Amino acid sequence: MKGSLRPAPMVRLNTLADGTVGRLVSLGGERSFRRRLMELGLLPGTQVRIVRRADIGGVLELEVRRSRLSVRIGEASEVYVVAS
Amino acid sequence: MGTVVGIRRVAIAGNPNTGKTTLFNELTGSRAKVGNYPGVTVDRHVGELSLAGGSRVELVDVPGTYSLAARSLEEEIAIQAIAGLHPLERPDAVVAVVDATQLVRNLYLVLQLVELGVPVVVALNMTDRLEETGQAVDVEALSRELRLPVVAVAAARKRGIEELKREIERILEDPACATPGALWVPDQPLLMADLANVVRAVPAEWSAGSDARRRAFALWALLSVDEHDELRSMPGGLREIVERRRRLAEASGRCIEEEIIRGRYDWLDARAPLFLREAKRAPTRTDRIDRWLLHPALGFAIFLAAMTVVFQALFTWADPVIGWIEASFTWLGGTLERSLPNSLLTDLLANGIVAGVGAVLVFLPQILLLFLFLGLMEDTGYMARVAYLMDRVMKSLGLHGRAFVPMLSGYACAVPAILATRTMERRRDRLLTMMVVPLMTCSARLPVYGLLIAALVPAGQGRSLTQGLLLAAMYLFSTLVALLAAAVLGRTVLRGERQPLLIEMPPYRLPHLKSVLRLMWEKGSIFLREAGTVILVCTVAMWALLSFPKDEAAARASEERREEVRASLSGEEREHALALLERQQKGADLRASFGGRLGRLLEPTIEPLGFDWKIGIGLIGAFAAREVFVSTMAVVYGLEGESESSEALRARVRSERWPDGRPVFTPLVCFSLMVFFALACQCMSTLAAVRRETATWRWPVFLFVYMTALAWVASFGVVQGGRLLGWT
């Protein structure tokens, strides 16, 4: 909601390309999963970088606050980000 | 102060992968005991911390966690251990181990610790790795902002240990300097109203008269209660209020959890620039290693190669040591039997106790090797990568990504594999793995398959290929059944909600040899102490079952015949005849024993599987360990001492007949027996290990019943189905 600049579109986390950075907008999934993500520092507004993905393995590696986390691509698809 | 009576207690807490275990080991030296936290199978390490002032302090390890918020019984341990909830005792101070390279996220837990009003000293670990990550921490500024003592340490390099000890001593003397009170306090009016409401439902025995503790527990409950949590200690009233406030908040578009977590992170982020300087991150060593180890194709190849080494080690490298242990105990038993007077006591000593100790010790080489590999994988950070690589495969089977290594080691032996299930946090995942690992074709089944395959396919030209294919088929069969069992059990008895994957990928680190050796030592000694005693008792019980009652009349008759032989024959002929008589008598003794009678008693139940009572005795003997089937059958047939590769035993098996003259070991029956061995839980050591890991007899009993039932039904299907098809 920053003034007149056209906001970047909100996309699913798993659609970001490897190596790109996005800003978290909203978390989805079960309550406990969302809570865990937030406690690990993935709060809306935080920058997330896609480190790599294992398409065969169905897992996505993220970097947040200098730590690396792996989540399933299916679960990452419920997390929305704005590319930055 | 200084008038504190009794031992003081210090807890050591921190996120996973912060080097907490290494620091614990450095602080306690070699004096540590390991047990379980009450009610759960979570390791509880307790060590003694010797401080300069000579006071004795007990250091208690709290399971690694990112937050005190909990939803399972295992996670609940952390807050119970820090706050000292019944039955755990309240620590006098807490050492908060913090990874300096991921400072803010680690401090999130420290804020929670401080809220509980327990004196906290921050051990800022991994300071030796800050430079590499392009960061710098101002320890004094950190200490000022947190209002806590902070000590920079590098546990793996033994740096800062003495300073940390001094600081622990200081805060034990003067707790006030390490108890600043809650650092972050909610200030949003709506959240404050929620908190005020929840605070009233916090039990008095939790808050122990402290308003700060009451608030801390209210925040804890707001983060912990959810639709599926398994918290047994959460009072119904507290749960209800949390759920009500949450519903109200969500109806107006608020998220209480986010407000609390954001409050803490905002507090930290606002102060971070004061104590943390960060350069732009550059690719690290971990990035370079992961490019290979997590490569879509190469990563798998490397993983498979690593697993081949683990498997080879368990299967082949451990073998000479196992053989050596077996040979020494056989020798010891034999020597005792020869040198002591021929009595019941000698028999008990040689064939019960010495054999039993041997039966326990043979597991040690594989246990130690497996934990060497697990320790290395955990310590270097590779274990998280295994979960990353294997998640999809394992998830589709309903298993945890970390179940892969235990499942694989099950092909060598189920006992170490069961002990290794502890690398999984969730009880359900551990249980499911333990329930299917014993189905894998372990090495103890191989002698049995060897004998039966030889009976099935007599040696001859081109036959060894057939024999090899049969053995491979047994491996395939056991794997398929294990995976099927995992799918079925995971959807029925051990149904668990599907858990989202969320694993930290820690930076690669060189393994800390001392910690790995300690893990091996610890697992080995726990096995000997807890599972070993059960195995020993079972071995003695098996000995009694197969040795009593003695048939005195038959023994006398046999002695008379021996006298005759001694009188009538001489030289080699005499020795041969005496040996033959001896073996015949052993066979008669066994058939007359309780075990032998039990075999006859069992005959009606195993007859539909094509087994006679002699096989029944073999099955009873095989409960000690599957390979014992071969030696028991040898004794039953009066061929004591013959192995599965002995032609005499193989020929005897092929010529064995039912009373009506039909052959016993028809191809169909051999198949049936192999299927039975593939599926039945013919292993008391496995049951002892499951009992140890689950701390109840319920799961070993379940395991035994379900596997035996499965084996019976499958063998029945093979024999009856085969007969219907006109096979023999």
CATH of domain A10-83: 2.30.30.90
Q: CB B71 to CB A32 under 8 A?
A: yes
* pLDDT bracket for residue B459 (50, 70, 90): low
Q: What is the pLDDT of residues B383-407, one digit of tens each?
A: 999 988 888 888 888 888 889 989 9
Q: How far apart are CA B314 and CA B386, in angstroms?
A: 19
SS (H, E, C) B631-693: HHHHHHCCCCCCCCCCHHHHHHHHHCECCCCCECCCHHHHHHHHHHHHHCCCCHHHHHHHHHH
Task: Quote the tokens at residue B299.
Answer: 């990563």
On whether the CB atoms of residues B374 and B516 are closer than 8 A, the answer is no
Q: Give the chain A residue whose CA is nearest to the CA of B99.
A: A67
Q: What is the pLDDT of residues B27-63, one digit of tens each?
A: 998 678 888 888 787 889 999 988 877 778 999 999 9
CB proximity B230 to A under 8 Å: no
Q: Which of A33, A34, A38 should be substituted to probe chain B, the one whose Cβ sees the most B Cβ atoms within 10 Å? A: A38
Residues of chain A whose C-beta is under 8 A from some C-beta in B? Answer: 29-41, 43-44, 52, 54-59, 61, 65-72, 75
B86/B207: higher pLDDT: B207
Instruction: From chain B, pick out residues whose CB is under 8 angstroms from the CB of A31.
Output: 226-227, 257
Q: How far apart are CA B192 and CA B171, in angstroms?
A: 32
pLDDT of residue B635: 85
Q: CB B228 to CB A32 under 8 A?
A: yes
How high does pLDDT run on average in chain B?
90
* pLDDT bracket for residue B67 (50, 70, 90): very high
pLDDT of residue B1: 41
Residues 29-88 of B with CB under 8 A from A: 66-67, 69, 71
Q: CB A66 to CB B101 under 8 A?
A: yes
* pLDDT bracket for residue A5 (50, 70, 90): low
How high does pLDDT run on average in chain A?
89
Q: CB A39 to CB B505 under 8 A?
A: no
Instruction: From chain A, pick out residues whose CB is under 8 angstroms from the CB of B257.
Output: 31, 34-35, 38
Chain centroid, CA B694 distance in Å: 9
CATH of domain B8-178: 3.40.50.300
Q: Give the chain A residue whose CA is nearest to the CA of B15.
A: A40
**Angle at which helices B628-636 and B613-622 cross, to 10°:** 140
How many angstroms away from the CA of B67 is the closest CA of chain A? Answer: 7
CB proximity B239 to A under 8 Å: no
Among the partner residues B227, B281, B294, nearest to A31 by beta-carbon distance: B227
Among the partner residues A40, A56, A58, nearest to B66 by beta-carbon distance: A40
Q: Where are the domains of chain B?
A: 8-178, 189-270, 551-591
Q: What is the pLDDT of residues B638-670, one digit of tens each?
A: 888 788 888 888 888 888 898 888 889 999 999
Among the partner residues B258, B388, B501, nearest to A75 by beta-carbon distance: B501
Q: CB A32 to CB B391 under 8 A?
A: no
B680/B232: higher pLDDT: B680
By C-alpha distance, which of A78, A22, A77 is closest to A50?
Answer: A22
Least confident of A4-18, B5-19, B301-315, B430-444: A4-18
